[in-house]
Amino acid sequence: MVSIKLNNVSKIFKKGKTEFKALENINLEIPNNSFFGILGASGAGKTTVMRIIAGLEAPTIGEVLFDNTLVSKDNVTIVDPEERDVGMVFQNWALYPHMNNYENIAFPLKVKKWTQDDIVKRVYDLSDILGIREVLAKRPGEISGGQQQRVAVARALAKNPKFLLLDEPFSNLDANARDDARALVKKVKNDLGITTIIVSHDPADVFALAEKVAVIFRGNLVQVGTPRDLYDYPANEKVAGTLGDINIIDFDLREKNGYYDLIFGNFIIPGIRLPNNYDNNKITAGIRPEDIIIEKNMETKQDDEIQLIGEFQVSTVNYNQGSFAVVLNVSETKIKGISREPVFYGEKVKAYINKSKIKLFDYKSKNVMKPDEELAKN
């Protein structure tokens, strides 16, 4: 197994006289035997990070180290990809369609000139772990997407790699198959004790598996943390949106005895403490839909955290796994919340907010604000 370190890594691609900076000054440490996630939207640079780690690209500037040994630096590849002992699973799984699944798994072992007996044992051992022995004689086109994904994982693990790279590995699976595939990958990682990196645009994939996550935005590393810390305490508005659905609202401020009411039309959040040096008359707040509680007939108990913020008209409703995703009309803006009871288009409903879950961002920079105190009581 291996620990991985990126020091001041930048990557510039050139096409003629045009330059494109895909990564800028990335510093990242991935511990040995960890499950690490790299999350970002399409084009953010996350796959470029993966390719640099794998040795498929060299950093234009900066260095990459495995167990404190330099493997690439400043446009020079010191250790070739085939010598880095990496197993890779791609988004499209990249299985050879003319080979059966046994041959696909065995292929990297034949390249390394393993003996036939060792190849047979390794392929059957992996197929038993991954539950695919019954499909070994079939070709990839003759089995399901979930089975193809298992074959791709088996092939990546066949040569006993030091670490495993997963590039959008579940994108081609339906929802049920994704859940099974995530559980399988987590089990394999735990059983084999292998350093594993998953690269994805989907927070569900990364949060279900990774112990720590790096968020990349436009080639910049903007935050590293546990899934829970990133979700609850995003560094800025862009990170908050990358990690899941969120209402981003620009509020006017009204000061009251050292506290502030946040005002957006008739959507009013009372009693918020801001840093003493905050000098804007507006503030940006991020509120996740699950922290806005919508009710029609029920009565939520209010306390220091859960407070009624007003009555609003329902714009749209969608049912989702036992609750109702509700969109409210507020000053010509759509604000999303969650109801535990059925509500319908055009109805008037009450909205409560969990004040402790509000994310406050500076109105100008959109970076997270760290109040002198936590959200205050009324």
Specify the 3-state DSSP secondary structure of 289.
helix
Q: Where are the alpha helices (DSSP H) in 217-365?
A: 227-232, 237-242
In a domain, 279, yes or no: yes
Three-state SS for 34-59 is CEEEEECCCCCCHHHHHHHHHCCCCC
Looking at the fold, whether 32 and 154 belong to one and the same domain comes out as: yes
Judged by phi (left if over 0) then psi (alpha if -120 to 50, else beta), residue 187 lies in alpha
pLDDT per position as a tens digit, 289-343: 999 999 987 777 777 789 898 899 999 999 877 899 999 989 888 999 999 999 9
Q: Tell me what pLDDT residue 373 has.
A: 42
Looking at the fold, whether 151 and 24 belong to one and the same domain comes out as: yes
Q: What residue numbers bound the domain in which 340 lies? A: 245-361
Looking at the fold, whether 229 and 250 belong to one and the same domain comes out as: no
In a domain, 377, yes or no: no
Q: Tell me what pLDDT residue 172 has.
A: 80
Cβ-Cβ contacts under 8 Å for 373 (sequence gap 6 or more): 273
Q: What is the CA radius of gyration of the chain?
A: 25
In a domain, 204, yes or no: yes
Domain count, the chain: 2
Q: What is the distance between the alpha carbons of residues 378 and 271, in angstroms, rounded to a whole number?
A: 5
Q: Tell me what pLDDT residue 376 has.
A: 39
Phi, psi (5° rounding) for residue 167?
-105, 105
Three-state SS for 5-40 is EEEEEEEEEEECCEEEEEEEEEEEEECCCCEEEEEC
Looking at the fold, whether 160 and 289 belong to one and the same domain comes out as: no
Looking at the fold, whether 72 and 91 belong to one and the same domain comes out as: yes
Strand partners, 305: none
Q: Strand order in 359-361's β-sheet? A: 267-272, 259-264, 247-256, 282-287, 359-361
pLDDT beneath 70: ranges in the chain: 370-378
In a domain, 375, yes or no: no
* Nearest alpha-carbon partner for 130 in 107, 153, 108, 109: 153
Looking at the fold, whether 207 and 265 belong to one and the same domain comes out as: no
Looking at the fold, whether 249 and 230 belong to one and the same domain comes out as: no
Q: What is the distance between the alpha carbons of residues 30 and 278, in angstroms, rounded to a whole number?
A: 37
The Cβ of residue 348 has, within 10 Å, a number of other Cβ atoms equal to: 10
Looking at the fold, whether 99 and 116 belong to one and the same domain comes out as: yes
Q: What is the distance between the alpha carbons of residues 119 and 310, in angstroms, rounded to a whole number?
A: 67
What CATH code is carried by the domain that includes residue 276?
Answer: 2.40.50.100
Contact 253, 279 (CB under 8 A): no
Looking at the fold, whether 22 and 149 belong to one and the same domain comes out as: yes
Angle, CA of 284, 286 and 287, to the nearest 5°: 135
In a domain, 369, yes or no: no
pLDDT per position as a tens digit, 60-87: 999 999 999 999 999 999 999 989 999 9
Q: Tell me what pLDDT residue 378 has.
A: 36
Looking at the fold, whether 224 and 324 belong to one and the same domain comes out as: no
CA torsion through residues 131, 135, 137, 142, sign: negative
Looking at the fold, whether 60 and 177 belong to one and the same domain comes out as: yes
